[in-house]
Structure 1
């Protein structure tokens, strides 16, 4: 007989072990996720490297101009009349007395000689073509002498070379030779005067008007500034510069003649031309040579309208007014260092905080005088990403007035290197 209650024992069934295929799938999934994470990280790191670096930028630190230090020269201008003073290749020391056109007397002959020599050029020492004094011009001599004009003796048929005629014009200031040269060149005095005015206009002498080739006519007027303009051009002509520097010359008929400009040979004066009449007073256009640091410079100036009762007094006063001007200009001119070797000219800023400086490699020295403004120009090409230390790159130039530019190369300071890959990645984290 069975018991009334029975117990049934059920043994647990273990789970089925995973198949090999499922495990492999799981590992592939995990590996893929790791690869994706690594790829994403790589993309994040590489992203900054896909964009080009900005080019280095340059900032100029040198000012555009400078002033030569020291006290500007005090120019002893004459109390009356007009004056102008300049130094060739440097600049103007200033003017006085305004720019109203005034009679200039025999200073006119600078233009007469300039027109003749541009139409009939002469080399140094060359005599040039010959001209013969006409009977008409010789016959005019007594009347010219009676008027008290400055003349050289002439006779009909006398033969002068071009050089001799110019010596007569510029040294003893012969009015009659001015008329002889004018007719020889242009056929008539009137035609020659027209050439004089055309030349003045071409040279920019706006306040000048010529009515005769000698300056005896007070209608011939100009200014000190205009006459300095003309004198600078005339001194470029070799024969003109040679003649006005002479103290005397030997001429047909007249024999030995002397230069009215008694300053020639003193204080470096090498010309140019005197003038004196009652209307003009004492006048002088002058040139002097001075050496500075082994270089030769020409001082050019004009003084007009110095008072006096007669020619000797007028010329004495104009000479006395001129000597201080020449000496002041000669003393004022000097050499001055405007930029020193090592002076910073610009900064260079590269990407991610990199950078360097550019500085002058050598001194920049100009010729001038205290108070003169100096222009400073900088030329810097595009800076490459890599610029080793002490590398020449660009240049700086200094110009005082109308002088010759002084230039120095620029040199880099510390080396400029592009940022590393790590720096670029770290910068964008």
Structure 2
């Protein structure tokens, strides 16, 4: 007998379980891939980096001026707010004669300021001060006549000190201001220290005492400060003035009005020789530029010869400085200043938007400072970003904006994923 076994029906639930397993695995794989792809996007992008390609300074091209320094004595030559053209003769403190009166006038005007044209308070010559005149005259001092009871305004007294170089009015002003000459001299030395005149020492307000010593460099420091006082600059530029008792007096500085010279003060004694602190004004590129200098220790047997020698030594210095000054481009519009690099080597350049020009002379060094803010991830082409400044001396910087070259764009999503693989 044959037994027939009927076929069994397939178990469908087993096949369905396999598909569920495969589907779950695919879901997990897709989720893992999504996590792998999205995770890098959570990382912040590296900040773009800036690399400077412009030097920190540059030198104005051309042949540097040859300064005709005097063969003897000391000299210093400077251009206000721009820089120094140099010095000669060393830095040993030497007698400066009536150049000392620049400090006398400076102290008076800082403690008793005057506007241009203003006369200010009055001071009266005492009997004792008037009685000293014959002895001062017998010593051969530079003076103006005075009498007891004569009244000078502050301006007139300063004119007497600065133009005909009156020693007696320097002493009268000192006592009027400080109560005594000694107290005033202490003020002079304190002021010199405050201004950084480290090689200067005053012993009297007139400069008659050879113990009053300084250097050409220190006197240029003082002259630059003094010429910023309106009344001082006005008086130093005068060729003559009218004073009580003396009448019309003339400025010993015969260079005033020549070659742009606008002051400042002469000095001469046997110990000091011929001395002159000077200022001259010239126009460069539409700007008024002040040249300041000092020449000390020029030889001569007497005051007229000493002053003639110092004037002859000074005029070539003024003319050389005036001729040397010009407007010079140190960076041209479009010149590359820096490069910017972003992630995946995306990058651009920063370029000067305008010509950058300075007043100076060939051979002068100009500092170039960059001010570049933090660079964002995206910058369009020709976008303004940062500034370039040219700096000379103590003057205000000359600046130009910086502009990008090509645009800087952040990486795409796919690039960011590749960046972190």
Q: Which has the larger radius of gyration?
A: 1
Paired residue for 1:84, among 55, 59, 76? 76
Asked if the contact 1:372/1:401 (under 8 Å) is kept, the reply is: no
Asked if the contact 2:133/2:146 (under 8 Å) is kept, the reply is: yes
Residue ranges of structure 2 left out of the alignment (5+ in a row): none
| 1:218-367 superposed matches below 5 A | 218-367=210-359
**Distance in 2 between residues matched to 1:191 and 1:383, nearest whole Å:** 59
Residue aligning to 1:43: 35
1:422 is displaced (CA, Å) by 2.2
1:173 is displaced (CA, Å) by 0.8
Q: Does 1:399 align with 2:419?
A: no
Residue ranges of structure 1 left out of the alignment (5+ in a row): 1-7
Q: Does 1:199 align with 2:210?
A: no
Asked if the contact 2:81/2:392 (under 8 Å) is kept, the reply is: no
TM-score normalised to structure 1 length: 0.94
Q: Does 1:110 align with 2:108?
A: no
Superposed CA offset, 1:199-256 (max 9, x none): 2122221111111111111111111111111111111111111111000111111111
Residue aligning to 1:24: 16
Find the residue that maps to 1:375 and give its secondary structure: strand
Asked if the contact 1:367/1:403 (under 8 Å) is kept, the reply is: no
Relative distance call for 1:355 and 1:17 in structure 2 (3 A) is farther
Residue aligning to 1:69: 61
**Distance in 2 between residues matched to 1:233 and 1:96, nearest whole Å:** 22
1:176 is displaced (CA, Å) by 1.4
Find the residue that maps to 2:220 and give its secondary structure: helix
TM-score normalised to structure 2 length: 0.95
Paired residues in the alignment total: 421
Residue aligning to 2:85: 93
Relative distance call for 1:46 and 1:324 in structure 2 (3 A) is same
Find the residue that maps to 2:395 and give its secondary structure: coil
1:171 is displaced (CA, Å) by 0.6
Asked if the contact 1:373/1:401 (under 8 Å) is kept, the reply is: no
Asked if the contact 1:91/1:403 (under 8 Å) is kept, the reply is: no
1:276 is displaced (CA, Å) by 0.7
Paired residue for 2:152, among 137, 160, 164? 160
**Distance in 1 between residues matched to 2:35 and 2:18, nearest whole Å:** 26
Paired residue for 2:405, among 413, 418, 424? 413
Find the residue that maps to 1:208 and give its secondary structure: coil
The farther-off stretch of 93-102 and 38-47 is: 38-47
RMSD: 1.8
**Distance in 2 between residues matched to 1:205 and 1:425, nearest whole Å:** 66
The farther-off stretch of 304-313 and 173-182 is: 173-182
